[in-house]
């Protein structure tokens, strides 16, 4: 590479950095128009770009930069005041310079696009200052060359770009300082950290990361071999190698970590431009800008974040008139926050706009054939909101340059999941929406738990594991239950949804789910806990993630593969995809299979029963084939209409029944939030209970009763007398909308 080419490459890199700073500083100047230091800093950055253009003979870039410099010169001299129009012109200038720089980088030329009109507008805006201003002296060739050398030295040391100024009339000289040497040590101390920085090619960092990964694999194999050796000296050497490898790996990974602000820095400009375009007032707040991510992931989330911010402005924030009509401030607010949570970085983008229109989303999904009418009626509000991530979905009535094509949020979801992340949305009508991205810190080397299933080994990222539970063959009868087709494990009083890995992955032709002892690996996927039943758990190990080949690209449940210490290959499970394919719904209660009609009666020893707590000391049983769902609602979601307690549920109104009051007991404050949804056909009611205890079929000593509304009989389960509820009576009682609000009023609803 010639010296001229090297100089050009340095100029391109420095220009991109200066342009990023210019965007931020111009937006800051718009908020503080009297900040003279900020104006000087902006002038110096633009002068740096313009000064080197002359030496490199970039005439087009030099011309438009000179026009911007003229306008900034008038601002520096206080001949003009900073206005929104001037800021817009200078931001447009930054875009023009960025376009030319990109063209130079790709074609080695300045391109054919003309920026004469922009230069004329910049000069016209500066005309009031130019009428009385004395002509400024242009830089000589020697001064230009000195500027270039100064800029290169500043760039190599990581310092502030320097400015070579032409000679100008100076005020009367001030007396010289008598003790200048006292400032030298301070200047040297400030320069020392700058001289320690160094630009490194990204490809070199990638190569070092790959080598570190291979070293980790070799380390793991050596550690595996050492376990069978008795040579203590060799073991000591191995432990030293283990320590050095870990430190080297951590150091290499840190070289690739960048603050998330490298992505966020452009969003103030994006928000400003889109707000003007949509005729809205929007303020952007950012928290956690120092949070670090791997450079590869930083690049991967640029587009998803841009889509989310655009949607927040276009669909979320209302126009000032609508905000004022509902008592909101005219200026909307978008908040971006980032923080580290375990092995993940969580990014939340919130707005205080109108929130998602649940019914509009549901109707549009039906129109586009994304869901059936039956499924639409059964979907919860959270499920409906997640439809915005469906391919081709959009609520926009017309296609614009901002929205309407149905590709924005689909791109967000696919892009985030492609890098092993998760995305979810929460929204409240009239209050705004929050989109939450959960992204791994790095994709190269991760701690994982190794486990076995059907004589095959798999790895699970340790960040998703909550705990391990030993499930012995003798415990299964008491702790393992089936509700419909779904297995559950009673873990500390709660029902934990289970999936058998052998069945889910079809790694055995005839899975023996009840044979021998098992281990339950409890996973957490974005707040949803479920257990994965495996044969055996081994050890935790730092594994190097290797991508799967294109032939295996359709196996989404595997996030990659790794080579273990004994040289064998283990597939890495993706907990997010595993939960989705197993139909473990996030943040929802247990799903059960609904029967076509309610059971009229229950004989001794037949059928399964759901055991619930009705009062403080009374237990009751509900025929399981009458149960549609187990839900947990917040008291603030319950509304009292007349004598009825109701709740908005899956696109309709669900009548709630006070079970205790219906069967002749004293109503108590409803504090648990537990509701058993029962039904026959399309008729549904929610039974208010104090707790959901267990599932059992061990019913004995059944004694029918009469004159007890809501109870068909009494029986004995687990040594205790249980009241068997008459679901048909409770259903008709609820649909008659009789008094069901007492327990809720006592709870403060």
**Which is higher by pLDDT, 720 or 89?**
89
Residue from 395, 391, 275, 388 nearest 323 by CA:
275
Q: What is the pLDDT of residues 21-43, one digit of tens each?
A: 888 888 889 888 888 888 888 88
pLDDT at residue 351, as a whole number: 92
C-alpha dist (Å) from residue 507 to 311, 454, 665: 43, 7, 52
Q: Name the band, by pLDDT with cuts 50, 70 and 90, for residue 589.
A: very low
Q: Name the band, by pLDDT with cuts 50, 70 and 90, for residue 570.
A: confident
Q: Name the band, by pLDDT with cuts 50, 70 and 90, for residue 321.
A: very high
Q: Which residues of 455-488 are buried (b: 16+ CB within 10 A; e: fewer)?
A: ebbbbbbbbbbeeebebeeeeeeebbbebeebbb
Residue 489 · residue 470 · CB < 8 Å: no
Please give the backbone phi and psi of residue 685, each rounded to the nearest 5 degrees, phi first: -140, 160
Q: Name the band, by pLDDT with cuts 50, 70 and 90, for residue 14.
A: confident
**Which is higher by pLDDT, 153 or 326?**
326
Q: What is the pLDDT of residues 220-255, one digit of tens each?
A: 888 888 877 888 888 889 888 988 988 887 888 788
Q: Enter the pTM of the model.
A: 0.56
Checking if the pLDDT of 348 tops 90, the result is yes
Q: What is the pLDDT of residues 477-529, one digit of tens each?
A: 557 766 656 677 877 767 788 888 888 888 765 555 555 678 899 988 766 78
Residues contacting residue 390 through CB under 8 Å, at least 6 positions apart: 365, 370, 410
**Which is higher by pLDDT, 313 or 127?**
313
Q: Name the band, by pLDDT with cuts 50, 70 and 90, for residue 604.
A: very low
- The residues facing 470 across adjacent strands are 519
pLDDT at residue 282, as a whole number: 92
For range 148-171, the mean pLDDT: 49
pLDDT at residue 287, as a whole number: 92
Output the CA torsion sign for 323, 328, 329, 333. negative
pLDDT at residue 590, as a whole number: 40
pLDDT at residue 736, as a whole number: 58
Checking if the pLDDT of 181 tops 70, the result is no
Checking if the pLDDT of 742 tops 50, the result is no
Structure tokens at 543: 């594994």
pLDDT at residue 483, as a whole number: 61
Helix and strand numbers, DSSP H then E, in the chain: 25, 30
Q: Which residues of 85-106 are buried (b: 16+ CB within 10 A; e: fewer)?
A: ebbebbbebbebbbebbebbee
For range 416-439, the mean pLDDT: 86
pLDDT at residue 3, as a whole number: 65
Taking every pair of Cα atoms in the chain, the longest distance, rounded to a whole number of angstroms, is 111
Structure tokens at 711: 């109870």
Q: What is the pLDDT of residues 674-725, one digit of tens each?
A: 888 887 666 788 888 888 888 776 777 777 777 778 888 888 887 788 888 8
Q: What is the C-alpha to C-alpha distance for residues 349 and 264, in angstroms, rounded to an integer?
A: 12
Structure tokens at 189: 């101390």
Q: Name the band, by pLDDT with cuts 50, 70 and 90, for residue 111.
A: confident
- The residues facing 633 across adjacent strands are none
Residue 426 · residue 527 · CB < 8 Å: no
């Amino acid at each position: 590479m010639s010296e001229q080419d090297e100089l050009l490459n340095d100029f391109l890199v420095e220009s991109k950095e200066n342009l990023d700073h210019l965007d931020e500083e111009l937006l800051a100047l718009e908020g503080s128009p009297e900040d003279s230091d900020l104006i000087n800093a902006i002038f110096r950055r633009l002068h740096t770009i313009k000064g080197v253009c002359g030496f490199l003979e970039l005439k087009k870039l030099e011309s438009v930069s000179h026009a911007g410099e003229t306008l900034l010169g008038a601002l520096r001299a206080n001949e003009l005041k900073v206005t929104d129009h001037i800021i817009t012109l200078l931001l447009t200038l930054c875009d023009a310079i960025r376009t030319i720089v990109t063209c130079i980088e790709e074609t080695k030329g300045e391109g054919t696009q003309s920026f004469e009109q922009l230069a004329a507008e910049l000069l016209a805006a500066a005309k009031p200052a130019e009428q009385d201003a004395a002509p400024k002296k242009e830089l000589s060739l020697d001064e230009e060359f000195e500027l270039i050398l100064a800029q290169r030295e500043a760039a190599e040391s990581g310092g502030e770009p320097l400015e070579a100024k032409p000679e100008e009339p100076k005020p009367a000289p001030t007396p010289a300082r008598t003790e200048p040497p006292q400032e030298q040590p301070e200047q040297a101390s400030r320069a020392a950290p700058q001289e320690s920085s160094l630009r490194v090619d990204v490809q070199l960092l990638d190569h070092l990361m790959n080598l570190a990964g291979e070293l980790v694999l070799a380390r793991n194999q050596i550690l595996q071999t050492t376990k069978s050796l008795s040579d203590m000296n060799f073991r000591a050497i191995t432990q030293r190698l283990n320590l050095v490898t870990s430190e080297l790996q951590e150091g290499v990974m840190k070289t690739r970590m960048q603050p998330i602000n490298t992505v966020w820095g452009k969003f103030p400009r994006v928000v400003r431009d889109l707000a003007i375009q949509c005729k809205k007032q929007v303020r952007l707040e950012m928290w956690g800008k120092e949070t670090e991510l791997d450079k590869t992931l930083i690049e991967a989330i640029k587009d998803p974040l841009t889509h989310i911010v655009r949607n927040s402005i276009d669909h979320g924030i209302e126009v000032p008139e609508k905000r004022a009509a509902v008592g909101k401030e005219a200026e909307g607010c978008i908040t971006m926050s980032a923080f580290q949570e375990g092995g993940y970085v969580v990014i939340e983008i919130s707005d205080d706009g109108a929130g998602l229109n649940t019914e509009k989303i549901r109707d549009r999904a039906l129109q586009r054939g994304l869901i059936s009418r039956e499924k639409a009626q059964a979907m919860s509000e959270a499920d409906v909101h997640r439809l915005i991530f469906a391919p081709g979905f959009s609520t926009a009535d017309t296609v614009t340059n901002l929205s309407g094509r149905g590709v924005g949020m689909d791109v967000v979801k696919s892009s985030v999941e492609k890098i092993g992340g998760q995305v979810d949305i929460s929204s409240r009508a009239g209050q705004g929406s929050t989109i939450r991205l959960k992204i791994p810190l790095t994709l190269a080397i991760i701690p994982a738990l190794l486990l076995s299933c059907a004589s095959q080994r798999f790895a699970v990222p340790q960040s998703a594991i909550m705990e391990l539970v030993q499930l012995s063959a003798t415990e299964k009868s008491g702790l393992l239950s089936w509700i419909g087709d779904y297995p559950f494990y009673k873990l500390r009083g709660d029902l934990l949804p289970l999936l058998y890995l052998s069945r889910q992955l079809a790694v055995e032709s005839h899975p023996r789910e009840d044979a021998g002892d098992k281990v339950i690996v409890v996973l957490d996927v974005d707040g949803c806990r479920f257990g994965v039943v495996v044969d055996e758990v081994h050890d935790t190990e730092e594994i190097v993630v290797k991508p799967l080949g294109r032939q295996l690209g359709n196996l989404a449940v595997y996030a990659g593969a790794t080579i273990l210490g004994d040289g064998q290959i283990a597939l890495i499970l993706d907990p997010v995809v595993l939960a989705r394919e197993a139909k473990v719904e996030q943040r929802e209660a247990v799903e059960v299979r609904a029967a076509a009609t309610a059971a009229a009666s229950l004989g001794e020893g037949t059928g399964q029963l759901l055991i619930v707590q009705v009062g403080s000391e009374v237990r009751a049983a509900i025929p399981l084939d009458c149960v549609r769902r187990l839900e947990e609602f917040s008291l603030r979601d319950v509304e009292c209409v007349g004598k009825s307690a109701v709740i908005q549920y899956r696109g309709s109104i669900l009548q709630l029944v006070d079970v205790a009051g219906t069967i002749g007991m004293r109503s108590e404050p409803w504090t648990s939030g537990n509701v058993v949804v029962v039904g026959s056909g399309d008729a549904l009611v929610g039974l208010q209970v104090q707790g959901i205890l267990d599932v059992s079929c061990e019913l004995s000593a059944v004694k029918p009763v009469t004159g007890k509304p809501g109870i068909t009989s009494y029986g004995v389960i687990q040594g205790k007398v249980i009241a068997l509820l008459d679901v048909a009576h409770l259903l008709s009682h609820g649909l008659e909308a009789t008094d069901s609000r007492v327990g809720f009023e006592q709870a403060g609803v």
